[in-house]
Amino acid sequence: MKFFQTSLRALIVAGSISGFFAGWALLAHAGKPVAADPNPVSVDAPAPLPTLPPLDFSTNSVPTGLQPLPSLPPLSQSALPRLRTRGS
């Protein structure tokens, strides 16, 4: 059991050291990073936002698709048709 533990530790240490040097070698041969452009990028000024008309909260606003209709002045019943639509 002790022999197994010692072997496992040695294997982990050896693996870590060899992995470290392998990574070092890999990075040493990798391409160099490109230096950042010292000149600032020019950005066009944003176009001004369109101005919206103010909201109309008055009670006189007419919803889309509706139109006001004229109504009759008071009339005598005798002048009116007998058929009548009066709701239910």
Partner 1 sequence: MEFSEFRAMNSDILLAAEGPQENVARGLGLARAFIAAAEARLTRFSDQSELAQLNRSAGTWFNASEELFDIVREARVFIDQRGGLFDPTVLDALENAGYDKSMDEIRAHGVASRRAPAKRVTHDFRAVQFDDAARAIWLPPGMRLDLGGIAKGWIAERAAQILAAYCDAGAVDAGGDLFAVGLPANDAAWRIALEDPRDSDNVLAVLRVGPGAVATSSVTKRRWQQGDRMQHHLIDPQRGTPAETDWLSVTVIAPHATVAEVFAKSLLIAGSFEAAEIAAHREDIAFIAVDGEGHLWGSSQAKEFLDVGFEYA
- Nearer CB in complex with partner 1: 50/70: 70
Piece of 4-12, 17-25, 41-49, 61-69 that binds partner 1 (CB under 8 A): 61-69
The reply to whether 88 sits near partner 1 by the rule CB under 8 A is yes
- Nearer CB in complex with partner 1: 39/64: 64
Buried-state track 25-49, b at ≥16 Cβ within 10 A, e below 16: eeeeeeeeeeeeeeeeeeeeeeeee
CA distances to 6, 83, 86 from 79, in Å: 116, 12, 17
Residues that bind partner 1 (CB under 8 A): 63-75, 77, 80-88
